[in-house]
Structures are given as C-alpha cells and as structure tokens.
Amino acid sequence: MRSTHTPPTAVSSRPARTLAAWAQALPLTTVFALFFLIPLALVLMVSFWDYSQYQLLPDFTFKNYVAVFEGCLSGPELCTTLKTYLSTFKFCLLVWGLTLVIGFTVSYFLAFHVKSSSMQVILFVLCTIPFWTSNVIRMIAWVPLLGRNGLVNGVLVSSGAVDEPVDWLLFSDFSVVLAFVHLFTTFMIVPIFNSMMRIDRSLIEAANDSGASDWQTLWNVIVPLCRTGIIIGSIFVITIVMGDFVTIGVMGGQQIASIGKIIQVQTSYLQFPLAAANAVVLLAIVLMIIWALTRMVDIRKEL
C-alpha cells in the first residue's frame, strides 16, 4: 500500500500565500472600514441617542424610532412617514421604468445596430458626457426651458397649443421625474450595454434561422441574457433615487416630500439622532430591495 506524501515545500508555502493574500486585501479592507463600516456604525449609534435643542445626549433610547413612525398605527389615515415613503417609491418606480426603457433601447441600438467598433465607442462616450458637468448645473439648465416664461411655454403659446403658459412643467412631479431620468439614465445604459456586448452573436443567428421574429428573439434571447445588466442598473437607479434630496429640492421647488429631503431638513435643524434613525430605516428598506433584486440573478456567477 503506497502512502501519499505532501512535499514539505507545498506545506510551507501555504502560510506565505495566506499572508500575501491578506496583504493584498488589506488596503481595500482599510478603505472599506474607514469610509463605510465606521461611519455606518456611528450613524447606527447616534440613532439611539437623545438630543436637546443645542446638544446631543449620549443615551440608549428608542424614542427616535418611535418618532419616525408616530401616528402610523393610531388611525385609518396614513402617517407622515408612510406618505413620504409612498411618494419616494412613486418617483423610484417612474424613474426606474423610464430609465430602463431608454437605457435598454440605447444599449440595444449601440450593441446590435452600430457595426463599427470605433463608432460604438464614440456614441458610448457621448452617453457619458453628462457626467462631465455638475448635477446641479444640469438641473438648473431645465429652469429656463420649463419655466412659465421659458422656451417650452413660449413655443406652446405662440403655436396656439395652449392659451396661457403651463404651470406644471416646472416645480412639479413632472420636472422631478424628468431631471431624475436625465441624470441617471447613464447608470442603466452602462451595465445593460456591457451585458449585450457579451452575448454570443451566434445565438441571435440561431434564433433567426429557427424562424423567430425580431420580437421573439428580443424577448426570449436578448432580455434573459441581459438580466445581470438590468438588475445592476436597477440597483444603481433605485438606491440613488431613494436617498436623493437635491434633485427633489431643486426641481420640486422645495414643495415635494421625500425621505431623503426629510433627513436633510432634520440635519439642518440639528436633529441628528432623529435623522440617523430615519437613515437607518431607509438603509434597511434599500437593503431589502437590493436583496430582492439580487435573488433574481446570481450577479457574482454571471459577471
């Protein structure tokens, strides 16, 4: 009977490989801990503190979480918190649907209708141009277009389409959704385009040779193979919209409520523990949404 014998060099090299692996992971781990885990732990800790008009009072109390959901179980009407979350979810759903349609259409055109690789790169770079300027500047650019005396209303009135300027174009739900779509569609285009470029073109040819129509090929071949990109883009868009307060504040004329806006207002009034409690609740809801989305596809396996 022959016995297996592990060479001493193999055994002695394992600690060295383990140490090298830890050394390689240390910089990223340090950055992750300093800029994510520690601030998150501080927010969670402060959410249980008390506060007065002028100072924070280190304590362990649930009064901030009780204040977040105050009135939610006392009557038939929705409390302020639930109304605010419903408003935020409404914007999330609208922006997600519009960015998905636009992002998928643009990505499909770039991936399957633009044959030249250089032209694909040029057009793809054009899609990223909005990132070269500030979000606030891009939002403010809509004001002279959508205002009561803006370009759009001027065209509508001069053409006879309306008798007087339309008020709902600016500082309304419409302007907020428009700004969100303008700002965040690129977050949907990039991952979907990346997924489409990885599709084996022979699968498209096989579907066409089997007699499948363009719509059947799109729905049964391309869309399933783009699930990873769709899920990643959805996570980007939903998480950004859920916590946004700048876009809603600027384009909504400070008149539209969102959970991010509430947190910003509470912070401005130095109600840090209450704002931290709202932030923890928002984080929990966003994490549940991300968990539900990642159940649809194994991102780590398909990337």
Domains recognised in the chain with CATH numbers = 86-302 (1.10.3720.10)
Alpha carbons within 13 angstroms on the beta-carbon side of residue 54 total 0
Q: What pLDDT score does 207 carry?
A: 86
Query: Considering the chain, what percentage of its residues have pLDDT values greater than 70?
Result: 92
Q: How far from chain centre, in Å, is Cα 225?
A: 21
Q: What pLDDT score does 241 carry?
A: 93
Task: Share the mean pLDDT of the chain.
Answer: 86
β-pair type (50-51, 56-57): antiparallel
Q: What pLDDT score does 250 carry?
A: 87
Q: Give residue for tokens 């979350």.
A: 85
Distance CA 279, CA 275 (A): 6
List CB contacts of 178: < 8 A, sequence separation 6 or more.
142, 146, 251
Query: pLDDT for 140-192, tens place per residue?
Result: 888 888 888 888 888 888 888 888 888 888 888 999 999 999 999 999 999 99
Query: pLDDT for 32-46, tens place per residue?
Result: 889 889 999 999 999
Phi/psi at 287 (nearest 5 deg)? -65, -35
Strand, helix or coil at 45? helix
Model-level pTM?
A: 0.85
Q: What pLDDT score does 45 carry?
A: 94
> Is the per-residue pLDDT at 73 higher than 70?
no
Q: What pLDDT score does 191 carry?
A: 92
Distance CA 232, CA 99 (A): 13
CA dihedral angle for residue 242, residue 189, residue 298, residue 97, rounded to 10 degrees: 50
Q: What pLDDT score does 1 carry?
A: 46
Alpha carbons within 13 angstroms on the beta-carbon side of residue 295 total 6
> Is the per-residue pLDDT at 300 higher than 80?
no
Q: What pLDDT score does 69 carry?
A: 85
Distance CA 157, CA 147 (A): 13
Q: Compute the average pLDDT of residues 4-23.
A: 65
Query: pLDDT for 75-106, tens place per residue?
Result: 666 778 888 999 999 999 999 999 999 999 99
Assigned token pair, 109:
């055109």
List CB contacts of 60: < 8 A, sequence separation 6 or more.
48
> Is the per-residue pLDDT at 285 higher than 70?
yes
Query: pLDDT for 204-245, tens place per residue?
Result: 888 888 888 888 888 888 999 899 999 999 999 999 999 888
- Burial of 236 (C-beta count, 10 Å sphere; 0-12/13-18/19+): middle
Is pLDDT larger for residue 133 or for residue 190? Answer: 190
Residue 237, amino acid: V
Letter string b/e over residues 173-197, b meaning 16 or more CB atoms within 10 A of that residue's CB = bebbbbbbbbbbbbbbbbbbbbbbe
In the chain, which residue ranges form alpha helices assigned H by DSSP? 8-32, 38-46, 63-68, 80-108, 117-128, 135-140, 143-146, 151-159, 173-197, 201-209, 214-217, 223-225, 227-243, 246-251, 259-268, 272-294, 299-302
Is pLDDT larger for residue 4 or for residue 174? Answer: 174
